[in-house]
Amino acid sequence: MAAMNSKRRRRRNTAQTSQPPGFQLPRQQLVNPYPPMTLLSDDQIESIHQASLTILSEIGIDFLLPEARDMLKKAGAITETDSERVRFDPDMVEQSIGLAPTVIDMHARNPQHSFKLGANYLSFGNVSSAPNASDIIKGRRTGNQQDFRDFLKLTQYYNIINFSGGYPVEPADVHPSIRHLQCTRDFIQYTDKVFHAYSLGAQRNRDVIEMTRIARGLSQAQFDSETSLMTVINSSSPLRFDKVMLEGIIEMSSRNQLVILTPFTLSGAMAPVTLAGAVAQQNAEALAGLVFTQLVKPGAPFMYGGFTSNVDMRSGSPAFGTPEFMKTAIVGGQLARRYGLPYRSSNVSTANSVDAQAAYESVFSLWGAVMGGCNLVKHAAGWMEGGLCASFEKFVIDIDLLQMVAEFLKPFEVNEDELALDAIREAGPGGHFFGTAHTQARYRDAFYAPIISDWRNFESWQEAGSPQAVDKANKVYRQVLEDYQPPPLDEAIKEELDEFVDKRIAEGGVKTDF
């Protein structure tokens, strides 16, 4: 009762002011209760699968790391002298399918932030890897540590965000040789959620793996039994895996950490101009990555990533949140499920400002991802300009979109209480429901209360200065930064972490050879 009163007070307070930082949903493991949409028949999916096998056996993939080629050759793949090309017998590919887990437990240092990937679980990550940051007051600037940390605060604050999918913005003011050390320490100190390690050379992966182990307070053996870290491995489409990406797979898969294999197959540029061809190529690259991870460690957690979109054929610019993106997102999900693999998609936009375009491209992306049965949405909050900018206002607007998706996925209940025949009797023809007991008992929490949407009538809105959605988002994000509280971190762990980072920084980090 006390808890209920306290909850009521909190909600009423939010309701009264409708001010930043606004309502947020409780922490939850989101589940999509609906069967995924399918655009293709099983036969059509099989045709794409077969086309991918043909690509892998006839054309092959370039693996730029000699060690990887050696491993693949020993396992039966066909390699050539003086060539990076690797070809795969269809049997070798088929044998890799079914080894990786269909559901992955992702362990955060705060167990309340652990989550599941796969089946009908759905999770959201923050914007990642943008070289620029922006807000409407200070404008657009090169990424820096302050912005990086501010985005981590938002990531930590919002329950709907499950993980940091990478550096929200690249902190250009932190030297690349030690950036992974500084940034990972920030991940651990500013958040207690799951985070991401960039695969930029084996040593960086090893450093971040060790820091993650320290943060979780686990022995090496325990760490290897609990997936706590993720990396995105992009193939350099078409049909190529760079050295650092293959090193990343070796370091991460051997330690049982998550590899999200995401081909960067932009239809018309790095992939065929026809969507089926682009997806067949995406699928071939994903399967090649699957083979390699399962060779490194059978059963290593692997996620099928779909990022196929189209380019503007006039300018070559990539386009996102397009009808083509939605379609390939849904077909990608069908393929991932064909292989029993968890599936990753994204919330993307090419817009240069937080306008109508930014919003419709994002909702179209979410439509494709959610209806396609995606398990992990990367860049779910804050991604702009096709990935070149992380926007603080878009972050907050996206939070509202994600929360609305979560509400949409909440089962539609039908029972005596919900059917409310007594309330309909009480109101009767021509009556009003606000005064009924049924309404009075439920009105506070009946509907989703959006952070951003302005439902005032035009006159009240105009009197308030005609605020746009982006203006409200600006206020909200600044309020969240003020309200933010760092998560507790065990003092012993903090010391061990600092000791590790200080030592590695003193050693010069990792030579910046890229």
Residues 308-337 close enough to bind a copy of itself by CB under 8 A: 310, 312-319, 322-324, 326-327, 331
Pick out residues in 168-227 that bind a copy of itself (CB under 8 A). Answer: none
Q: Which of 408, 486, 492, 508 binds a copy of itself (CB under 8 A)?
A: 408
Shortest distance, position 232 Cβ to a copy of itself, whole Å: 20
Burial of 188 (0-12, 13-18, 19+ CB in 10 A): buried
Q: Which of 448, 475, 487, 496 binds a copy of itself (CB under 8 A)?
A: 448
Contact stretch for a copy of itself (CB under 8 A) within 56-64, 160-168, 254-262, 496-504 = 56-64
Total length of the chain: 514
Q: Which of 5, 81, 219, 415 binds a copy of itself (CB under 8 A)?
A: 415
Local structure of 55: helix, strand or coil: helix
d(CA 431, CA 156): 46
Helix axes 145-157, 469-483, angle to 10 degrees: 90
**Under rule CB under 8 A, residue 145 binds a copy of itself:** no
**Under rule CB under 8 A, residue 431 binds a copy of itself:** yes
Q: Which of 421, 492, 499, 502 binds a copy of itself (CB under 8 A)?
A: 421
**Under rule CB under 8 A, residue 493 binds a copy of itself:** no
CA angle centred on 419, ends 416 and 422, rounded to 5°:
80
d(CA 107, CA 116): 9
Q: Which of 26, 111, 428, 465 binds a copy of itself (CB under 8 A)?
A: 428
CA distances from 187 to 156, 166, 491 (A): 10, 9, 16
**Under rule CB under 8 A, residue 444 binds a copy of itself:** yes
Binding mask 452-491 for a copy of itself (x = CB under 8 A): xxxxxxx--xx---x-xxx--x------------------
Q: Which of 25, 31, 51, 97 binds a copy of itself (CB under 8 A)?
A: 51
Residue 118's contacts (CB-CB under 8 Å, 6 or more residues apart) are: 101, 102, 103, 104, 341, 342, 375
111 versus 412: smaller Cβ distance to a copy of itself: 412
d(CA 272, CA 279): 9
The structure tokens listed for 357 are 């375009």
Pick out residues in 108-137 that bind a copy of itself (CB under 8 A). Answer: 132
d(CA 448, CA 442): 12
Do 217 and 192 meet the contact criterion of CB atoms below 8 Å apart?
A: no
Do 346 and 304 meet the contact criterion of CB atoms below 8 Å apart?
A: no
The structure tokens listed for 340 are 């029993």
- Main-chain phi, psi angles of 427, to 5 degrees: -70, -50
Q: Which of 362, 390, 395, 509 binds a copy of itself (CB under 8 A)?
A: 362
**Under rule CB under 8 A, residue 55 binds a copy of itself:** yes
d(CA 434, CA 440): 7
Residue 28: half-sphere exposure toward Cβ, Cα within 13 Å: 15
Shortest distance, position 121 Cβ to a copy of itself, whole Å: 19
Shortest distance, position 429 Cβ to a copy of itself, whole Å: 4
Shortest distance, position 488 Cβ to a copy of itself, whole Å: 33
Shortest distance, position 472 Cβ to a copy of itself, whole Å: 9
Q: Which of 48, 152, 232, 510 binds a copy of itself (CB under 8 A)?
A: 48
Contact stretch for a copy of itself (CB under 8 A) within 150-158, 266-274, 294-302, 506-514 = 266-274
**Binders of a copy of itself: how many residues, by CB under 8 A?**
129
Q: Which of 21, 30, 32, 39 binds a copy of itself (CB under 8 A)?
A: 39
Contact stretch for a copy of itself (CB under 8 A) within 158-166, 233-241, 297-305, 375-383 = 233-241
d(CA 410, CA 418): 14
Pick out residues in 81-110 that bind a copy of itself (CB under 8 A). Answer: 84-85
Only one residue has tokens 């600037």, namely 141
